[in-house]
A and B are shown apart, each in its own frame.
Chain A
């Protein structure tokens, strides 16, 4: 099979026809709905994560989603259960690691490697899931059920509601923790709460992008937005907007080609970030 000739075999280059064909199948509509939900959630939470310099923690939580999903598959539970359970547990574990930055990152790294090791153990105990491993790690947009979409929307609305409620003090605590503490803002509680929200966002995102590519939606749009504007509300909206464009384009490209959505989404997100760096 010739790779270059068949990359975009289904594409007619007529936007109206192409969008129409994109929405022809129910699985694709589900994928776009789920992708949209996840992009909004990851764009908003990711903006705070980048502001708080917690990218490593975010990546660790993303990676912990993998043993969660593999463990759920082994135990015969719904995958979403494993994703959310593992990420919330991971957020609690990270919150329990004490302050010193160099030790903190070493402990975070150990939590991450241990999580992946457990995931591998679950996968090998399960057997016959070898192809499923790539799906868990690199995501799949095929076969997203109506039920999954509904779960994602409910989680996203709850998480965004919590973020909206705690957004102002969280912003204060993220920008200057000491002053916020002195002003009576509950910095520690906010920090734990944010890690839990981050866990939820990561669990939701990894169901679409896979555990390893969550970063593309969580970090890149937010980092690009923070390069372009320092104003919080505008930055948040920009981050969400970039995430949406990246997800929609990535899913559409993957639909018309033989290559995985994860590749297109990460590449588009990277391009957006590089463009934002040069735009300033």
Chain B
């Protein structure tokens, strides 16, 4: 398995992206911002397609879109922090724009097919070159470093924003910075697992870690480890079974971890009534 170059690149990028997603994802779940993460991952799609439609490098479109929208949402945040409706309306429109850029791209390129969209939506972790993988690792490592640096005040202000603000923690600035990091991670992870699936890598290991760990710092470490493990196992499964797409395998492993961490299989019980 390690003899294949594409597999080594995938493992390199996947390890760092997984670690960044696990770490940031835990804070996303702690701060109840899963829907914001969802919106950002969809924005990544529009950014990448806009870049494709106008012939710019996809990465520029990805990061520009996710980070700008992240900061925009943070700016709206204080007045309308839990305004899921506003997020929903805005990101429905942004996805509509994505459909427009897809149409422009397919009418312009003579190849004329939907594969570009499929790549962005579902990721191409097996198609990364060594330089792609190195950039992915570097961006993820930077995101991890920033997150670790602000982790303490961030956890404090997530758990009790009022007390944190009273103690002089810059709650608003931290929230904004965190959203920008989330945007960068979303943009990077889009290349690995795709715009539509990265939510699973953000939410599932974090939810599992939240159930298993008592203290937030243990939870952070556990969530990171689980996400990396999900990427590794998923990649290995996809390698062994070629008809299984790697992003599906990664998400399936992550979801299995979350279910396994649940105290009882509540979904099954509820279905039985």
> Counting CB contacts under 8 A, is A149 at the interface?
no
B14-46 with Cβ < 8 A to chain A:
29-30, 32, 34-35, 37-38, 42
> Counting CB contacts under 8 A, is A103 at the interface?
yes
Contact, CB under 8 Å: B207 / A103: yes
> Counting CB contacts under 8 A, is B122 at the interface?
yes
Interchain Cβ contacts within 8 Å, total number? 205
Chain B residues contacting A121 (CB-CB under 8 Å) are: 244-245, 248
Binding stretch for chain B, among A16-24, A78-86, A106-114, A229-237: A106-114
By secondary structure, the B interface counts as helix
Contact, CB under 8 Å: A270 / B92: yes
Contact, CB under 8 Å: B32 / A101: yes
Chain A residues contacting B197 (CB-CB under 8 Å) are: 113, 116-117, 120
> Counting CB contacts under 8 A, is B3 at the interface?
no
Contact, CB under 8 Å: B99 / A113: no
Chain B residues contacting A113 (CB-CB under 8 Å) are: 196-201, 203-204, 251, 254-255
Report the separation of the CA atoms of residues A114 and B251 in the bound assembly, to the nearest whole angstrom.
6
Chain B residues contacting A125 (CB-CB under 8 Å) are: 243
By secondary structure, the A interface counts as helix
Count residues on chain A whose CB falls below 8 Å from chain B CBs. 61
B92-135 with Cβ < 8 A to chain A:
92-93, 95-100, 102-104, 107, 113-115, 117-118, 121-122
Q: Residue of B at shortest CB range from A120?
A: B122
> Counting CB contacts under 8 A, is B185 at the interface?
no
Binding stretch for chain B, among A51-59, A151-159, A165-173, A175-183: A51-59
Contact with A along B146-175 (1 / 0, CB 8 A): 000000000000000000000000000000
Q: Residue of B at shortest CB range from A262?
A: B99
Contact, CB under 8 Å: A109 / B199: yes
List, sorted by A's number, 14 A–B pairs whose CB atoms are closer than 8 Å. Answer: A56-B34, A58-B88, A59-B88, A96-B266, A98-B266, A106-B258, A110-B258, A121-B245, A133-B114, A138-B99, A213-B92, A213-B96, A213-B99, A223-B85
Given A106-B258, A216-B92: 10 more A-B contacts, CB < 8 Å: A3-B104, A53-B82, A105-B29, A110-B203, A113-B198, A117-B197, A124-B245, A215-B92, A259-B100, A270-B92
A residues apposed to B, CB below 8 Å: 1, 3, 50, 53, 55-56, 58-59, 63, 92-93, 95-98, 101-103, 105-110, 112-114, 116-118, 120-121, 123-125, 130-131, 133-134, 137-138, 210, 212-213, 215-216, 219-220, 223, 258-260, 262-267, 269-270, 273
User: Top 9 closest A-B pairs, CB basis?
Assistant: A113-B200, A266-B96, A96-B270, A109-B203, A215-B92, A270-B93, A106-B207, A117-B248, A117-B251
